[in-house]
Structure 1
Amino acid sequence: MKRSSIPVATGLYVNYLLFGMFNIMLASHMSFLTEHLHTDQAGISLLVSAMGFGRMFTLYISGVLSDRYGRKPFIVAAGLLMTVFLVGIPLSPTFEMAMVLAVLAGVANSFLDSGTYPALIEAFPQSSGSATVLVRGFISIGAAFLPLMIIFFMNHDIFYGFSFFIPALIFVLNAIYLFRMKFPDMRVQPTKGQSGGTSVSSAKQTGNLKENDPSKPRFWQEGVCLILLGFTGPTLLYIVQLWLPTFGQQFIGMTESESLRLLVYYNMGSLVSVFVLVIVLRKWVKPVHIILIYPCISLLAFGALLLFKSGAAAIICASVIGFSISGVLQLTLTVMSEFFSQRKGQITGFIYTATSLSYTLIPVFTGFLLKHSQISSVFMLAIIVNVLGIALAVFVNFRYSAVFPAKRELSPQIVLDTK
């Protein structure tokens, strides 16, 4: 690890700690915002969807421009745009203005991702996997801290907007800090073996295999399944982050502060999962196995959440769900890179487009579902999506055993992030 890059990396990690708060800000203030913006829960879910819309339509172009003009402008711009969103939402006079701010927040998200991950890889070319793994950890820390801050303000009758303003202030200060930093050379490439993925044989990479050879990766089979997993994984994540506090209040009968604590337990489970994955993927388990094992665990947890109607059960289930859906999206990308090692940029675009589609559609759909049904129906949807994810992962594992010799040891580095 290069010591000269640590100051820049510190600023990048601070951004993602704040992003952990930013990512659940609307869901955590559901009751406040519905009253302030004169809307309902479906309206707040529409704001979340608008964020996904802004991200989806700028993700690709921001990545291209980041390669051309450098990482710093986009990372700094992301911090400033997120500040505008965080300050603007509590002060917004109309719902329409809040929608505009939500789209800007989505743009900020795409700027942050397209600048930060390449910057970390360029800062630590010999340990790029470890450097990017930490991003997920900082997101979880921020997401766990926000509900505690909100509860403190509620207990002391402090205006809810301060939980927006404090992260906004830190975003501005961090943007100024990063603007003054010297970023690593964009021409630096990660050291072989550090950037992730274990390549298949040269014959498979070049496609010099017969078309009916079952050991050849097939995009329209495992490739499509992995892209669909790029939709199902984030769908579960967003359902939990957006509706878990509402579930706690309406289905279990928790108070508002108790239901917000469910997000703390969820994010603590997610944080534990990051460290577990770093250990087990290096020594015992392959990513392709995790994308099947984790959905099986989360399915049981979602079922128990609906079956056992108690606060204690909800806490346990929230922790297990956080543990078992954390990192599935990123490991899906890792597996996709193993199958199609010569098309990493292209397949990353495919998977994250599916992810952005989930972020755009699911808040709207679940908001509509809740408007015409009960909160339990939203979590029944999560179970259906979870079952679909398991079916897709079973097929991917079957194809993986055909494409890669079972006796060969694979130990790819993983790259974890939020969506």
Structure 2
Amino acid sequence: MEKKYFPTALALYINYIIHGIGVIIISQNTDALALQWHTDTAGVMTVVSMLGIGRLIAIVFSGYLSDLFGRKPFVFLGIASYVLYFLGLIYAPNITVAMILTVIAGIANSFLDSGTYPALMESFPKHAGTATVLIKAAVQIGQWILPWIIILASSLRMYQLSFYIAAVVLILNAFWIWKVPFPDEDAKAAKATDEAVPEETATVFKAKPNMFIEGAAFVVYGFISQATFYTISQFISAYAKEVAGMSNNAASLLLSYYSTGTLICVAFTALVGLKIRPVNLVLPYTFMSMIAIGAMTMFPSTTVLVVGSVLVGFFAAGGVMQLGLTVMGEMFPAGKGTITSIFYTFGSIASFAVPFIGGRISIQNVMWMDTIFAVIGFVIALIVFIRYYQTIDTKASK
């Protein structure tokens, strides 16, 4: 049954390759867009920040509506919104229009999440962790591809090329998605014809999960898991220069080490996740993240920061957030779109809170803040691990 949805999954991953491009396409074309919009670099970065606002606006309700109306409509809404974003930016005459379009892109991200994550979990219930972690790989692929497209565009003196390519790929992919099956649609069709509807999940419960315990833990984890790696990605270079005395170039390279760790983890998790339950990965990943960040905070030497950056990329940014969502989907299998919204709403809040708080305290205290986040994350992961095995019958759930 899972093989039937391979084409569906591939099409969904292509959307996230383009999403990866969309997240950084403005910052990678700062000079050209600043000239077009009659602003400066700070103005362009203000436009970029609107992605988070758009995401937060839509993620609150999009998951519930995905449960109500189906996964495919929200994937199409995400595609349409992103096409408007890419093509609109080319012709945006000023920063105001650009900000509106970027809010739309944030909304597009939420629409894609609300349709894609539940669809993948429903398509591959036995390998949901691997299926959702591969979204992270797709995003990284997009962000690796874009610089090469920009080099080509620069040689052609046509910076708009990357925007056009992204829009065209999405439009073509929409025709593909129109043709491929989605599990929720198949289930409805089978029910309408009185056919036997296959179980979307093999989860069997010994005791019903408690929304006030597991549910609350997952909500907090949605915030903590995002905050933990986002703090490193935003502040590690400044921390390395100010506290460890590293040069500008050496400090900047820490993000490359961080990205390398992320990609290695995605590949590792995608393979190991075929045999190991996601909950069994969340706990050690969160523990190692806590150790790495704690070491970087207490022993800020060049060697520790280099090794720590790779480890944080692997254990904190390489897919543990997606694995956490997968475990939540196992424990609360009804309404996967709704739980995706709840989980990522708090992740979006973290995207605002981290730079807001971090910009108002010393860089040393920023790292202590992240250490506290990591400790809380491990405690939550431990609670979830214990409650998972108290509630789910792992022998029957295969």
Interval containing the TM-score (normalised by the shorter chain): 0.7 to 0.9
Q: Distance in 2 between matches of 1:373 and 1:281?
A: 39
1:186 is aligned to 184
Q: Residues 22, 318 of structure 1: CA spacing in aligned structure 2 closer, same or farther, 3 A cutoff?
A: farther
Deviations 1:210-261 (A, max 9, x none): xxxxxxx5433343222101111112343345555676788743349x93x6
Q: Secondary structure at the match of 2:284?
A: helix
Q: Distance in 2 between matches of 1:90 and 1:300?
A: 45
Say if 2:259 and 2:310, in contact at 8 Å, map to a contact too: yes
1:211-360 equivalences under 5 Å are 217-242=209-234, 252-255=246-249, 259=252, 262-281=254-273, 283=275, 286-303=277-294, 305=296, 307-308=299-300, 310=302, 316-325=307-316, 326-337=318-329, 339-340=331-332, 347-360=339-352
Q: Residues 50, 283 of structure 1: CA spacing in aligned structure 2 closer, same or farther, 3 A cutoff?
A: same
Q: Residues 303, 94 of structure 1: CA spacing in aligned structure 2 closer, same or farther, 3 A cutoff?
A: farther
Q: Distance in 2 between matches of 1:73 and 1:112?
A: 10
Q: Residues 103, 228 of structure 1: CA spacing in aligned structure 2 closer, same or farther, 3 A cutoff?
A: same
Say if 1:122 and 1:188, in contact at 8 Å, map to a contact too: no
Say if 2:8 and 2:180, in contact at 8 Å, map to a contact too: yes
Q: Distance in 1 between matches of 2:262 and 2:270?
A: 13
In the TM superposition, residue 283 of structure 1 has moved relative to its aligned partner by 4.7
Q: Aligned partner of 2:205: which letter?
A: V
Say if 2:220 and 2:346, in contact at 8 Å, map to a contact too: yes
Say if 1:291 and 1:332, in contact at 8 Å, map to a contact too: yes
Q: Distance in 1 between matches of 2:227 and 2:107?
A: 20
Q: Which runs of 5+ in 1 are unaligned?
A: 206-216, 414-419
Q: Distance in 1 between matches of 2:148 and 2:237?
A: 13
2:169 is aligned to 170
Say if 2:64 and 2:337, in contact at 8 Å, map to a contact too: no
Deviations 1:266-324 (A, max 9, x none): 3342232234334445556x5445333223322343355565554x7655433322211
Q: Secondary structure at the match of 2:204?
A: coil
In the TM superposition, residue 13 of structure 1 has moved relative to its aligned partner by 1.8
2:376 is aligned to 388
Q: Distance in 2 between matches of 1:178 and 1:62?
A: 19
Q: Distance in 1 between matches of 2:217 and 2:377?
A: 9
Q: Distance in 1 between matches of 2:339 and 2:327?
A: 11
Q: Residues 264, 176 of structure 1: CA spacing in aligned structure 2 closer, same or farther, 3 A cutoff?
A: farther
Count of residue pairs brought into register by the alignment: 384
Q: Aligned partner of 2:319: which letter?
A: G
Q: Secondary structure at the match of 2:184?
A: coil
Say if 1:52 and 1:356, in contact at 8 Å, map to a contact too: yes
Q: Distance in 2 between matches of 1:37 and 1:314?
A: 39
Say if 1:222 and 1:399, in contact at 8 Å, map to a contact too: yes
Q: Residues 345, 62 of structure 1: CA spacing in aligned structure 2 closer, same or farther, 3 A cutoff?
A: closer
Q: Distance in 1 between matches of 2:259 and 2:70?
A: 32
| Residue 200 (str. 1) matches residue 205 (str. 2) | yes
Higher helix share: 2
Q: Residues 93, 299 of structure 1: CA spacing in aligned structure 2 closer, same or farther, 3 A cutoff?
A: farther
Q: Distance in 1 between matches of 2:241 and 2:158?
A: 22
Q: Distance in 1 between matches of 2:238 and 2:223?
A: 23
Q: Secondary structure at the match of 2:109?
A: helix
1:122-161 equivalences under 5 Å are 131-146=131-146, 152=151
Q: Distance in 2 between matches of 1:234 and 1:327?
A: 10
Q: Secondary structure at the match of 1:200?
A: coil
Say if 2:279 and 2:385, in contact at 8 Å, map to a contact too: yes
1:77-156 equivalences under 5 Å are 77-89=77-89, 92-120=92-120, 131-146=131-146, 152=151
Q: Which runs of 5+ in 2 are unaligned?
A: 188-196
Q: Distance in 1 between matches of 2:118 and 2:211?
A: 26
1:50 is aligned to 50
Say if 1:283 and 1:411, in contact at 8 Å, map to a contact too: no
Q: Residues 343, 183 of structure 1: CA spacing in aligned structure 2 closer, same or farther, 3 A cutoff?
A: closer
Tell me the TM-score normalised to structure 2 length: 0.74
Q: Residues 155, 347 of structure 1: CA spacing in aligned structure 2 closer, same or farther, 3 A cutoff?
A: closer
Q: Distance in 2 between matches of 1:93 and 1:83?
A: 18
Q: Secondary structure at the match of 1:57?
A: helix
Deviations 1:373-405 (A, max 9, x none): 66665444433322322233344445556x359
Q: Secondary structure at the match of 2:174?
A: helix
Deviations 1:182-202 (A, max 9, x none): 54463435954x746x4322x
Q: Distance in 1 between matches of 2:3 and 2:388?
A: 39
Tell me the TM-score normalised to structure 1 length: 0.71
RMSD: 4.4
Q: Distance in 1 between matches of 2:295 and 2:155?
A: 35
| Residue 10 (str. 1) matches residue 10 (str. 2) | yes
In the TM superposition, residue 9 of structure 1 has moved relative to its aligned partner by 3.6
1:76 is aligned to 76
Q: Residues 289, 10 of structure 1: CA spacing in aligned structure 2 closer, same or farther, 3 A cutoff?
A: closer
